[in-house]
Amino acid sequence: MLLIYGTLNRKHHLRNKDPDLETIIQRIGDLLDMTREEVLVAGKNRRTVHARSILCYWAVESLGISMAGLSTRLDISVNAVGKSVTRGRTLAKR
């Protein structure tokens, strides 16, 4: 129960104190030297895929945004968000 409480508490803290989705988009752009539009553009460009994957990972894992909500926001399928979260987890660890 402590693990679940800790995770929920961390997500609650991030939602109330730290970034929203727009801030995360900006941070990813800054880290990867990309504009907001380049982070959000659809396509299979390697840099864009990496940026969007990290975005999906941080949004789902840190902010607790649902995959369904994120899929609507990014105009991709829920399945694509799930794959991006997995890919983003690997990229973020590097």
Alpha-carbon distance of 10 to 4, in angstroms, equals 10
Q: Average pLDDT of the chain?
A: 84
- State the pTM of this model: 0.77
pLDDT at 2: 40
> How many structural domains compose the chain?
1
Alpha-carbon distance of 76 to 55, in angstroms, equals 13
pLDDT tens-digit readout, 47-88 = 999 999 999 999 999 899 999 999 999 999 999 999 999 999
How far does the chain reach from its first CA to its final CA, in angstroms?
30
Alpha-carbon distance of 59 to 10, in angstroms, equals 13
CATH of the domain at 79: 1.10.1750.10
CA distances to 14, 16, 54 from 44, in Å: 30, 34, 15
pLDDT at 18: 52
pLDDT tens-digit readout, 9-34 = 444 444 454 568 999 999 999 999 99
Q: Which domain holds residue 69?
A: 2-93
